[in-house]
Amino acid sequence: SQQGEEDPQALSIQEGENATMNCSYKTSINNLQWYRQNSGRGLVHLILIRSNEREKHSGRLRVTLDTSKKSSSLLITASRAADTASYFCAYNTGANSKLTFGKGITLSVRP
């Protein structure tokens, strides 16, 4: 399967702590994206990092990409209870617009 793999599958932290989620993939990619899904609702796009970028920031989010290791990490700093959700990485291989999604990580932030 070409599906991405995230780890850990589930993460539980205290409010205020940082949360780090990892994603690995198996093919060459054009870009990698992270999405959040609250309680089985629609996906919210968080951040996109291109294959020629190594790090990107957006507010409390920091994404890194290591194409040599075929891996990416999403760091959420100073977590809040509202960050409780499922997080998915998804990547585009460049052949077309299709995205391949990872299995997802469930993040719980305890107040």
Partner 1 sequence: SAVISQKPSRDICQRGTSLTIQCQVDSQVTMMFWYRQQPGQSLTLIATANQGSEATYESGFVIDKFPISRPNLTFSTLTVSNMSPEDSSIYLCSVGEGRDTQYFGPGTRLTVL
The distance of closest approach from Cβ of residue 57 to partner 1 in the complex, given in angstroms and rounded to an integer, is: 17
Closer CB to partner 1, 19 or 36, in the complex: 36
Quick one: DSSP state of residue 81?
A: G
Show Cβ contacts of residue 109 under 8 Å, excluding neighbours closer than 6 positions: 12, 13, 14, 15, 19, 79, 80, 81, 82, 83, 84
* Nearest CA-CA partner of 77 in 32, 16, 25, 36: 16
Confirm or reject binding of residue 48 to partner 1 (CB under 8 A): yes
Binders in 58-97 for partner 1, by CB under 8 A: 88, 90, 92, 94, 96-97
Residues that bind partner 1 (CB under 8 A): 3, 30-31, 33, 35, 40-45, 48, 88, 90, 92, 94, 96-104
